[in-house]
Amino acid sequence: MTYARVAVPVATGQAFDYWAPDGLGIERGSLVRVRLANRRCVGVVVGTHATSDVERERVQPVDDVLALPPLPEDVVALAEFVAAYYREPVGLALAQAVPPVRSGVRRRAPAPPSALRLTDGGRVALAARIARAPAMRALYARLCDAPAGIDSDSIVALPAQDQRRLSAWRTAGWVEEPAPAAPAHRVELNDAQRAALDAIDAAAGRFSVTLLQGVTGSGKTDVYAAAASRAIARGGQVLLLVPEINLTPQLGARLAAALPGVRIATLHSGLPDGERLEHWKAAASGEAALVVGTRLAVYAPLPRLALAIVDEEHDASYKQQDGVRYHARDVAIVRARSRGVPIVLGSATPSLETVLHAKGGRYARHLLPHRADPRARPPAIRFVPEDDPAACDGVSGPLLDAIRARLARGEQSLVFVNRRGYAPSLKCTACAWEAGCPRCSARLVVHRDPARLRCHHCGHAERVPRACPSCGNVDLQARGLGTQRLEAALAAVFPEARIARIDRDTTRARGAFEAVRAQVAADGIDILVGTQMLAKGHDFPRLTLVGVIGADHALYSADFRATERLAALLFQVAGRAGRAALPGEVVVQTSFPAHAVYCALAADDYDALANDLLDERRIAALPPHAHLALLAAEAVSREEVDRFLAAAERDAHAARDHARADVEVHSPVPSLLARRAGYERAQLVVQASRRPELARFLDAWLPALAALPGRRVRWGLDVDPISL
């Protein structure tokens, strides 16, 4: 009799014993189907034993072993590390590493074409048709933008309707499968790129961390591709993590062009399950030499892993904010260490954590100080007052003039405001009333088309009142600026301009983002309005002006990382201006042009700012000079939250004394958003100057926390929170 200890994906569970019928070939890492309280689920075998502490009669059998390769030992160990480090149930941590199998039994669709592109006939026929059928426009624009064709990954990611369209168009001869293997396109690396490449290459075969700090447009992607190419040529596999794959559609094409003949597997949650499973298998079998994916790809099975790369390593999306709160960059570093392979962290604005390690010599650092395109110059940076009497709906006179000049020259402008909707607040002009969410401690945001007041925290929506519910005054004022209002204001000033807006509202539909991007690239747009979605790596050669409105808000934020994040954002958006031959300009509206973050932008000196911020963090004993754990709790009644956290605080003091851990336990405080979706929220922060002290403290504290009464309280612990 063999017992299998199976980690199952439930919040309470650790791992449970099942008996393993002979012949199933169960081993550590096997993916098995088991029953858990009458529910069937997929679990991961973490060990096999000859005996169990549970009575024989009460042990259930393993139902089935999935017809998939078992998770490799290093992935199981990695998930176990994540569970231990982030204090999460091991079953949940391991569930992240399990490929999507639930629907894996689904009938497989016939193999999709490797790519599809427009034929000349199709271009003409469809151009005539889309005028009458606007629903087809996005797909058509996408095909136009991809003369080499859209690849199979993208095709299967399309809405079902578009996939049906494509097969109909294929039958009609309007799209075709292109002949394979266009000649490889390789750029000649410049000296800085070559030096970085050689350094990365020299590190092959053992663990090391290299920070590749390159200004926006310096050609980091080409260094990744070249480094990957060398690692693959030696028989290795490469893992490339990216923050948000959907926002960087050009990346795949560039990698494919630079790595001819290499099978590239993408892994992200936007892929249909069947496709993701195929890609997972290709990684596991070693067939895919390059795996590109978002944070979940850090768990990809990679038998010949030789190099890991984390692009935009500072990006907050690497930290999972719900469920298992791991940081994929940090987990990738752990994995590289355990596999004895080098890892490269790339960024124009590296996180302070990474900067500190680079300064301390634990990470090697390579700089790409200039834009790769020899014609490109750094943009000119100009600060203009946010409070401008000549402003039109928040857009200052100088910014309007700068846009006007671009329109006259046929160049493109990007105006950036980090709020979607029409206006962030609706206020009564006669009394103090302001529209608030009934379920959250937050203001409702005014939206147009359709006119609604919306809560951006809980999704609550209501009609816009005609009169003040408090005093009856009919003069209600939308205050502040969102993307919709910005779009309307610019349309009023420049009626002839073609304006497009990009934010979460306009890009909800699949393919919508790609369609606008294609339009901009095809020069069909004069002014682009949007949120930070626009900051990521897009190359628009005719875009020469970037306007930034409302950035000062970050300076008032209570979040200790707000300035660091603002800096990353500003350097990124500035990097969008003047990518090629045309010089770029950045106009920033601010009331504090002397603030360190703006000075750094003007001087194009991120390092100086990073050093200042590191000093501030050291003085305030904040990360990366300290290590934090955040206990967040919420309940319908404020009293219950307070009672829970007061007890947690008492236990924390006891745990600290018991473990003799050098940690500071802060008193509970309301969360930044003190109420969300009807729940009162508060939190307690524990701070340690050394990581092992924090770990020792948590070992002592967590059992006490788990035993606390408070069944109506939802709570969670966040180790290394990225915001407070």
Min dist. Cβ of residue 562 to ligand ADP (A): 24
Residue 156 contacts which entry, ligand ADP, Zn ion, none (Cβ below 5-8 A, type-dependent): none
Distance from C-alpha of 176 to C-alpha of 280, rounded to nearest angstrom: 28
Q: Report, in Å, the least distance between residue 344 CB and ligand ADP.
A: 13
Read off the DSSP letter of residue 71: P
Measured from the CB atom, the residue of 30 and 221 that comes closer to ligand ADP is 221
Q: Which is nearer to ligand ADP, 426 or 518 (CB)?
A: 518
Are 415 and 529 spatial neighbours (Cβ–Cβ below 8 Å)? yes
Selection from 323, 362, 245 nearest residue 86 by Cα: 323
We find the least distance from the C-beta atom of residue 460 to Zn ion, in angstroms, to be 4
Beta strands in 88-161 (DSSP E): 115-118, 150-151
CB 26 within 8 A of CB 2: yes
CB of 470 to Zn ion, least distance (A): 5
| Cα distances (angstroms) measured from residue 502 to each of 267, 415, 508 | 25, 10, 10
Q: Which CB sits closer to Zn ion, 357 or 675?
A: 675
Q: Give which of 350, 343, 267 is closest to 309, Cα–Cα.
A: 343
**Residue whose token pair is 């010599």:** 361
- Can you tell me whether residue 20 is helix, strand or coil? strand
Cα–Cα distance for residue pair 228/223, rounded to 1 Å? 8
Which among Zn ion, ligand ADP, none contacts residue 693 (Cβ within 5 to 8 A by kind)?
Answer: none
Min. distance of Cβ 565 from ligand ADP in angstroms? 18
Q: Which residues neighbour 573 within 8 Å (Cβ) at sequence distance 6 or greater?
A: 414, 416, 532, 534, 535, 546, 548, 586
Q: Which of Zn ion, ligand ADP, none binds 439 (CB below 5-8 Å, type-dependent)?
A: Zn ion
Q: What is d(CA 460, CA 438) in angstroms, rounded to the nearest whole number? A: 8
Choose the contact partner of 470 out of ligand ADP, Zn ion, none; CB within 5 to 8 A by kind.
Zn ion
Quick one: 91 or 214, whose CB is closer to ligand ADP?
Answer: 214
Binding partner of residue 457 among Zn ion, ligand ADP, none, CB cut-off 5 to 8 Å per kind: Zn ion
Of ligand ADP, Zn ion, none, which one sits near residue 458, judging by CB under 5 to 8 A according to partner kind? Zn ion
Which partner, Zn ion, ligand ADP, none, binds residue 529 by CB below 5 to 8 Å per kind? none
Secondary element (H or E) of residue 491: helix 483-493
Residue tagged 């909800």 (tokens):
508
Looking up tokens 């795996």, which residue turns up? 291
Residue closer to Zn ion (CB basis): 205 or 472: 472
Q: Choosing among ligand ADP, Zn ion, none, which partner's interface includes residue 428 (Cβ < 5 to 8 Å by kind)?
A: Zn ion
Residue 193 interacting partner from ligand ADP, Zn ion, none (CB closer than 5 to 8 Å by kind):
ligand ADP
CA distances from 331 to 80, 318, 340, 517, 611 (A): 11, 10, 14, 33, 25
Q: What is the largest CA-CA distance in the chain?
A: 83
CB of 186 to ligand ADP, least distance (A): 10
- For Zn ion, the closer of residues 71 and 445 by Cβ is 445
Residue 82 or 574: the one with the smaller Cβ distance to ligand ADP is 574
Q: Which is nearer to Zn ion, 144 or 426 (CB)?
A: 426
Please, what is the minimum distance in Å from the beta carbon of residue 681 to Zn ion?
Answer: 12
From the list Zn ion, ligand ADP, none, which binds 481 (C-beta under 5 to 8 Å, kind-based)? none
CA distance 325 to 88: 8
Alpha carbon of 21 to those of 7, 27, 156, 169: distances in Å?
Answer: 18, 12, 39, 52
Q: What residue ranges bind ligand ADP (CB under 6 A)?
A: 187-190, 193, 214, 216-222, 372-373, 537, 539
| β-sheet with 452-454: strand ranges across | 445-447, 452-454, 461-462
φ, ψ of residue 291 to 5 degrees: the values are -115, 120
Q: Which is nearer to Zn ion, 339 or 454 (CB)?
A: 454
DSSP single-letter state for residue 319:
B
CB of 576 to ligand ADP, least distance (A): 10
Residues near Zn ion, by CB under 5 A: 428, 430-431, 433, 437, 439-440, 455, 457-458, 460, 468, 470-471, 473
Q: Minimum Å distance from CB 438 to Zn ion? A: 7
Nearest residue (CB) to ligand ADP, 222 versus 278: 222
For residue 482, the minimal CB distance to Zn ion (Å) is: 17
- Judged by beta carbon distances under 5 to 8 A according to partner kind, the member of ligand ADP, Zn ion, none in contact with residue 433 is Zn ion
Half-sphere exposure (Cβ direction) of 168: Cα atoms closer than 13 Å: 9
CB of 351 to ligand ADP, least distance (A): 17
Of 220 and 501, which has the nearer Cβ to ligand ADP?
220
The residue at minimum Cβ distance from ligand ADP is: 219
Tokens linked to 608: 């100086």
When CB distances are held under 5 to 8 angstroms depending on the partner's kind, the choice from Zn ion, ligand ADP, none that residue 339 binds is: none
CB of 539 to ligand ADP, least distance (A): 5
Q: Measured in Å, how far apart are the chain's first and last C-alpha atoms?
A: 50
Residue 676 CB, shortest distance to Zn ion, in Å, is 7
Nearer to ligand ADP, 29 or 243 (CB): 243
Q: Would you state the structure tokens that stand for residue 230, as one six-digit string? A: 């060398």
d(CA 644, CA 709): 8
Closest to ligand ADP by CB, 201 vs 539, is 539
Question: If we measure between CA atoms, which residue out of 584, 522, 562, 553 comes closest to residue 215?
Answer: 584
Q: Where are the beta strands (DSSP E) in 182-281?
A: 208-214, 237-241, 264-267
- The residue written with tokens 């934090």 in the block is 628
